[in-house]
Structure 1
């Protein structure tokens, strides 16, 4: 919802309402504006597409964006609906139960309405003082559910009765005519919240008459407008006035299915008093029409309509924004949703752009460029940020899946969306498909299932128990649709259903398929009894990336005692000199350095206490309170912890970062922390607010370092948080000044404004210095077996003397050189592999193979190791280029010095 909506009630999500934002921001801030054109969309690359149903294609793109000197890549997904299809059609999906004052996730809307795909829709009000309802108008199946508000520059998307798409400014007209057939009063809206009109800045409920139908699932109407005292409500059933409330006493009921409720204030209330009586037949006229005189369409010939935000594309060109875009973080790189259509009006595009890991989001100016490259002739912006959702039914499947990756990792409940539907009959079987990974790793369990679709690309119902599975190669075992891979290679998985057969080629990745492996530990300090969470990022040479659980690898510990069980390293003997952890997949190894450490408790508020206080920013505008409490949220009754409560509901939305601080000590810089801590740990009771959690450290240079403890507080209950300090560039000693909850200006509508967190057991972890690797110096001479080690003469023994091969590369005996420099050698006769381990460096090389693995990365040398008389000789360049060992050559004496 960005900054044009709010969500905030006590301990529930809240954002500033669109209407409140209008009240709080100066008028000039809302003038139409343009985002900075500092970036260029250089390409939009189609990565794949899939039929959803007849007439509907899901297309996946990657947009390549140049932003100054950097290149960004954003995943874009498009539902392309063929408007000439006799079966595919669009309609508006509303909140839970199909009402406009409730919310639901897009996935649940699609499921509830029988759609096959959908995206989120209009921006909406979620202020605690008003009902949740769309800002724009809604028409579903030809019925007006809400009317457009009188707010400038808010475009709508609609489909006419003859199936033509429209994007335009639409407005509302209506009236209520008394029984005399002459006396009438202007009707100002259908099922709308209180808001401030534009451009005249009037309270929408003052002196106006509003209609509420059964789509308004609330007993409250006009909340937040401060107009109840001057309001009369009229219950109308089947066109006849059934009840008129006393002034200032609204009807305590929801509108009926067979009628409506009129809310009349001021002049409108006077009209009711003077012209309406119980039992009178009255006439209601309500219609949505084009705002411009050059268009004649109205709700009479519109079957579907949904409100949106600014215009983006007009006549195939970038359009000036029709309203200020700061309220939707328009110049920031966020998740986006848009609707557009082609020049020939035969294709409607439902578009989302992701802001998530691996996808960089986009500004509205970038979105405009993308839409043009996608072929949009006209397009508008819809609700985005955390609201952006695209769901669809995979080909051949019946379940609805979230197709995009949401900005906050959750499926936000929104007020409406656009659903994609099909009326296609049951067709003949057309195809089968096997769903599941096409690249797998050894010892990985992968689930497969057979799906099918008919001639209209709708799913066939297939009993998985009737599927016969077989494979072309015995690379694993298959049972109940689950493949357990035990050998490398390529296999063809065959599924047979009756007379239908479908095949899928599966590649079992081996060492040669991997580009890199990186161990991902939750922290790197070894202490007895501690647990370190482990996973491994594997990048394949085909560009695919997987983060796999630790159980997929063989593990080895060196320098400390520990055991990897499941996905956790349990440290049993930390030692005092640190160590390394090695992960092995089919001979591809990677290494992670770990430091022996000790922990010091700074505060547990029970046995070790520090002075604490609270503060808020902006000061005087927000509130924060800290209190030390016994038995907080499940802790033992005698266990004290600090509770930090905050209220960020006041002040302007989206203008500044808001924060609630827990301050430590009386010194302005906080409490002094001795030594050189490498990590910080603490227990946090979360409030699921999605706010950020930070620690503020001041180092000896006076530099304030803000340490990320959690990008989102997305949990409740207690959780141990650990933060690595080694990458912060700290100048020791340091002080712990504050721990705080931050609600940044950008995306402020995405997070709770009120909440409370608990803080306990704050400690720092220290690294015990490990002895430095030996700094030996080795001098070799080409063609000679005599060497110098730290100035002492030695001999290569049975190893060949260093020599220059035919490519001009100097070859040296790897075992002798490595051991002389303080490393160790591992030799595998079966695979002809030599492993070099020195400190935290690890390399694996194979005889006569130029590809080698150095510190978890596959690299290619210009010369391969060779075996001579039982000794492995390697190119000297490997040691300098990949190990960063210092090497010098004296051409006069033909000596090589390594150190």
Structure 2
């Protein structure tokens, strides 16, 4: 057994986020913190608290920062932080302040670079599905097109952490279900506002996408992100349910409200070449959950590391890094947002296996890994402050712009 302790006036007293600490396999909560490591807990708002503490992990002591969120408290909710467009990035602190969040962490992995495709720009768009305020923003790229560490066995880019309209958080998977309807039939929709489309498919891009070039969507294959871009592409612009223009090369720039741009590669491109100006076209799409029938108000991608109180098999126990994760406790009524400190004194970080163990010890039954390294950022607004501050010292010395995050909101 291991214990987190706080120095009190009369000595050390137990400091816990869980009622009773469990046994860790790997990471252990430190009883005697190193110099300068002072455990602390601050209530940010009713139902929302910030805490920091130290963990003795495989490669040394690292510092954890945790936001606990009680969704049972009236007015407390979670939602997606994002810059307003899928293919765009901003810092967590800027997104939190713009949205009026009391706290937040960074979110999904994303299309951060394109060294394998000269002349093709990175879009900055996230890997997995995303829902904000109940509105579907995007679907998941193919597994082989993912940026980030290898996925644990049995997981995919469709995995999400989300909160339903029932105010309960849960792990799930969201698959895109959509079609392109024309007078002569229907075509399957293979993507929605995604930086990578499945081979042979047609993807839809809406005003939620942003200004980034859509060329990247036709690069790579379902199993190899670095594979060359397709040479067989076609693009059709649909406005108010009618075809208005076509192009052999995917374009870029803002997409107006009421307009959908269809991008096809290989067989998808061949199907789009049959379209003609003025043809009636209707695009329908939704995200279908694999586990829950409750509609999601908020969801974003990453990958599960803990289910039903058990770490997923095959979690990496060798590579330590700065991490961000979210845990679900109390039947989805309580969440724990964790980010590891990136300062030189604590940068040794955690392995993914240690993330799962740490989240379980904090009381999580399910846990979900988000983007880490230079992307890890946890922000919180102190009572009475006008804005949030970054609590975990980003590893690059400053916040990295990211595509999305989890925001904690309190309506007073």
* TM-score, normalised via structure 1 length: 0.38
1:209 to 186, 202, 209: 202
Query: Which whole-Å deviations, capped at 9, do the CAs of 1:119-176 have from their partners, x for residues lacking one?
Result: 0111111123331110111111111111022315343111111111121233222111
- Retained in 1: the 8 A contact 2:343–2:395? yes
Distance 1:219 1:386 in 2: 23
Residue 337 of structure 1 pairs with residue 319 of structure 2: no
Residue 164 of structure 1 pairs with residue 168 of structure 2: yes
What residue number does 1:393 align with? 381
1:117 to 99, 103, 108: 103
Residue 266 of structure 1 pairs with residue 250 of structure 2: no
Query: Which whole-Å deviations, capped at 9, do the CAs of 1:587-625 have from their partners, x for residues lacking one?
Result: xxxxxxxxxxxxxxxxxxxxxxxxxxxxxxxxxxxxxxx
SS at match of 1:86: coil
Distance 1:39 1:344, change over 3 A: closer
What residue number does 1:78 align with? 66
SS at match of 2:68: strand
1:381 to 366, 369, 372: 369
Distance 1:390 1:167, change over 3 A: same
Residue 190 of structure 1 pairs with residue 230 of structure 2: no
Residue 177 of structure 1 pairs with residue 181 of structure 2: yes
- Retained in 2: the 8 A contact 1:289–1:296? no
Q: How does 1:252-331 map to 2 (within 5 A)?
A: 253-274=253-274, 276-291=275-290, 295-297=291-293, 301-309=295-303, 311-321=304-314, 331=318
Write 1 or 2 for the structure with the bigger share of strand.
1
What residue number does 1:62 align with? 54
What residue number does 1:52 align with? 44
Pairwise CA distance, 1:380: 1.1
What residue number does 1:347 align with? 334
Q: How does 1:845-860 map to 2 (within 5 A)?
A: none
Distance 1:213 1:81 in 2: 33
What residue number does 2:132 align with? 140
SS at match of 1:156: strand
- Retained in 2: the 8 A contact 1:245–1:251? no
Pairwise CA distance, 1:63: 2.2
2:91 to 94, 105, 121: 105
Distance 1:392 1:280, change over 3 A: same
Distance 2:292 2:408 in 1: 27
Distance 1:270 1:166, change over 3 A: same
What residue number does 2:246 align with? 245
Pairwise CA distance, 1:227: 5.4
Distance 2:361 2:110 in 1: 29
What residue number does 2:390 align with? 402
- Retained in 1: the 8 A contact 2:75–2:410? yes
Distance 1:44 1:371 in 2: 17
What residue number does 1:93 align with? 81
SS at match of 1:344: helix
Pairwise CA distance, 1:283: 2.5
Question: How many pairs are equivalent?
Answer: 356
Residue 149 of structure 1 pairs with residue 141 of structure 2: yes
Distance 1:253 1:361 in 2: 39
2:402 to 414, 426, 433: 414
Distance 1:48 1:313, change over 3 A: same
Distance 1:44 1:101, change over 3 A: farther
Q: How does 1:622-701 map to 2 (within 5 A)?
A: none
- Retained in 2: the 8 A contact 1:312–1:321? no
CA-based RMSD:
2.5
Distance 1:400 1:380 in 2: 24
SS at match of 2:332: coil
Higher Rg: 1
Distance 2:395 2:251 in 1: 41
Query: Which whole-Å deviations, capped at 9, do the CAs of 1:824-853 have from their partners, x for residues lacking one?
Result: xxxxxxxxxxxxxxxxxxxxxxxxxxxxxx
Q: How does 1:787-802 map to 2 (within 5 A)?
A: none
- Retained in 1: the 8 A contact 2:123–2:212? no
- Retained in 1: the 8 A contact 2:167–2:333? no
In structure 1, the gaps of 5 or more residues are 1-36, 195-203, 425-899
SS at match of 1:109: helix
SS at match of 2:190: strand
Pairwise CA distance, 1:391: 0.7
Q: How does 1:212-231 map to 2 (within 5 A)?
A: 212-223=205-216, 225=219, 229-231=231-233
Q: How does 1:635-784 map to 2 (within 5 A)?
A: none
Distance 2:25 2:292 in 1: 39
Distance 2:407 2:180 in 1: 33
What residue number does 2:11 align with? none
Using CA pairs under 8 Å that are at least 6 residues apart, name the structure with larger relative contact order, 1 or 2: 2
